Chain A
């Protein structure tokens, strides 16, 4: 058994959790309160439910999840919704009065008061596993709780579990749409911690998600649709742990293949076929189309500079009814179109996994995780936004007031600028 503990931090992290757990429940044939559905499909009963769930009395399953927010809003909505009975109350942590969009408050002031409780709850969740594989963390880089408290959790998690894999799903600020002026500060400070403490991070950005959703849906998308895409990606990353397949891949294998240099572990993902919730079954793609859509550049979830960069590595995971011959032929064709770094083998590394069970409602699906040097553009943009404000001392007093000096902020900025440079150098 290779269990995974999911940690959801902040408003964004918990909204993703809401969609994500609904999806996982359906994949494993469980009801919203964690009880196996009557006459659930053979695939569900064949699955390895214990990866994500802990079995408690009466055959009920409870997610190996820790929900954390400094504001009670989103968690309260989960609790009062359909999944009210699902989560264990002892693993939900809410604290008032919020981090007020300030990384330093989430990391120092409010974080200090609550981090020990969080670590105790995580320790308790880990003790219920037999052989923990790692952690999934969902959060946003721009807000206060997800970024500041998320950073603190990453640091403490790495100290406490140095050998476990930490995989983050981090929602980055969009290039054009911005929720708040201090987003670049929060993002830069968090990216430094992700670089130093996580094993891999999938960057997601709302604008790209919005674009994807808009192209595939007939109506204008809402946040639920965006989070649904994130949920599909997260579920696919872990699919081969949970469902039998011919080519098994686990988190460790993904990470070994995807991270060519230490610290360069920022990935972007793509899921195909992208359809709105409820309309998945309507389209049945043949495999060549599915493979092409999986690796289509418009389909990736971060604003990557595809033109000025090369692939460092890529992984693909296909779920559902996929034939080995088709898989080999089509992936060879796709490999040829991908522009790998010159020092990598001519065909580049393209790790492939399969799982027999497609996500609920799909006949087959594809997931791509790639490490592309064009991701430097995301960091460069954030550093540029950071510099303009920082050089004019705009908003920095909020951070200094909560114990993060300008030196610390500059240090984080240099770390991220260095990260961008190391990606550019790798091209």
Chain B
């Protein structure tokens, strides 16, 4: 028994000493924390930073200093956002912008080849109805001509360096660009007034309703041979209206920021306005391609409404049946013979 007892005791001692050694192995190296543990975080924050580095950090962040020289933002040493603007404008904006416009043109061309013109399903009746009044047509063509001029001059500023300099040479393109800049900066605000007038004039016709939903479901009658109903403005025209009412307004206001440097707006504001101006302009130019296509070669009998003001009753019945009905109800002798 005594032997077994002493063996048991030895086992116990071995076990306990083993645990003790393990604990010491784990805890002893951590004893340093008794001294430094609490102070460590304080030491890190108390480490003095290089005061001069702070000065240069301030400069890089575009902090303002003092300068005896007068001039726009002359007291700012470094303006970091310019490089970002350059990368955005020369990179994605210019590259994807050109792809986007090209892609939209290709899609329209492919659509024309596959679908062809949307023709009148019934022969012309010879009877016409007034679709656009003289004032509406004046307003439309004023805005349209200004839009086209601004598109050409604007795209010349963005892509002229790549496309037109090889054609015109440096002095030739410079001469053209001086004119383009003048035309763009002068006609921009005029376009804005014309656009505002159009938005106000057609406002009440452009609320979406259930008829438009059906119109979109039938792809506006462009795909297939269905003839979805539409009032004076169809769903597509309403989308174009709201594109102009949103992107168009952003385009105009960002344009004003760029056009009038005399108010001393800062470069960061100008850069942002420029990116907005480019984005909305490219978007609306692409939209206008579709609008011009549908209004001219895409639809038989559509253009005459905007040139002469009169459309054939057969056309009105096919494309704007609800509006024709409304016109007939309002004025029973409204549809008049063109003979």
A and B associate: no
Binding site for B on A (CB under 8 A): none
